[in-house]
Amino acid sequence: MSNILDINQHDTRDPNPWLAMYLDTSIPINEKTKQALMRDNDSKSRKFLLPFIVIWSKLTMFFIHVFKFFFPKLINSSKTLHKMLAWGLKKFVSPDANLLIFRHFHVGTEILQFVARNIDGIEIQGNPLKPQNFDAVKDDLFLKHDLNLYNFIIELNKQLKSKNITIQKKQNLNLDMITNDQFDHIEFPNKWSNILDLRSAIELFTPFYQFFLTSNDFVRASNSLQLDETIAIYTAQILGTPGHLGLVNNRHPMVPENTYSASYRLVLHGLAAETLHEILVNLKNKINHDGVVTP
């Protein structure tokens, strides 16, 4: 464990904010995820590279935005994009940031499966995404993640309306799909070049995402971040406990944000998914074999 997370290294005259966040338990989150996120926040990359990367990213996105305004579909190569993303993640992104990125797909898949399996009368097959290595990224992983979310909401509400079903509190929850995976089975590269923190990596990759996808694909991906609120509401209706809605920062999907804030909101999106997933993990741990919550 990094020294910043060691209470013995605490200096009362110069307290580390990430040690405080690590020790705080007010927000539910997977332990390994929390360690990785706090180390990532304290990294040299985030402190010294991120400010310059943000400026480059926003300027580049502006010129790409102008180009896409006139030629919205001229360049469309998701395969090329994802090959570049796989290469960049493997060569330049830190182990902690890679862990947070790969976990997000697993966590997101399990949350959607939870919603689908805990509404009586609903049948959604979905397209589960649980990448185990960088080769999985090449299979349009990021694009499929966005498409999955929209297709899930469309199919769910199509069935709710056609079958006249209302999402209600579920008495006997199905939590079979929720895992407490610590990602010990994935070894992420840790060479001298693997220095980029999560935010820096996202800021660097976003202009490429914008350039190689159609204008519609990129805008849809950006707007999908605000669907955090939608999925959180579905879960609250199933659980009958809306408290976790306070942990959602990406809200109001009917009033879209501009795409220039996508990278920061993507980090918030990851945090929202992690906290919701941990709530479900903790709930599963409290339920006995009869499906009854124990005191």
pLDDT of residue 1: 41
Residue 14 located in a structural domain: no
User: What is the per-residue pLDDT for 10?
Assistant: 87
The rounded mean pLDDT for the chain is 92
**Region 18-42: what's the mean pLDDT?**
94
Q: What's the domain count of the chain?
A: 1
Q: Rounded distance, CA 153 to CA 237, Å?
A: 15
Cite the DSSP H helix spans in the chain.
Answer: 17-23, 31-41, 44, 50-70, 78-92, 95-117, 141-162, 198-212, 215-224, 228-239, 262-286
* Residue 1 lies inside a defined structural domain of this protein: no
272 in a structural domain: yes
97-101, 143-147, 164-168, 286-290: which has the minimum mean pLDDT?
Answer: 286-290
pLDDT for 18:
93
Residue 22 is assigned to a structural domain of this protein: no
Q: Is residue 274 part of a domain?
A: yes
Domain that holds residue 190: 34-286
Beta bridge partners of 287: 293
Query: 2-11, 148-157, 223-232 — which is least confidently predicted?
Result: 2-11
Residue 212: name the closest of 74, 96, 15 by CA: 74
Taking the model in full, what pTM does it have? 0.93
Q: How confident is the model at residue 294 (pLDDT cuts 50, 70, 90)?
A: very low
Chain segment 247-259, per-residue pLDDT in tens: 899 999 999 999 9
In a domain, 4, yes or no: no
The pLDDT of residue 140: 96
Report, as an integer, the average pLDDT of 99-119. 96
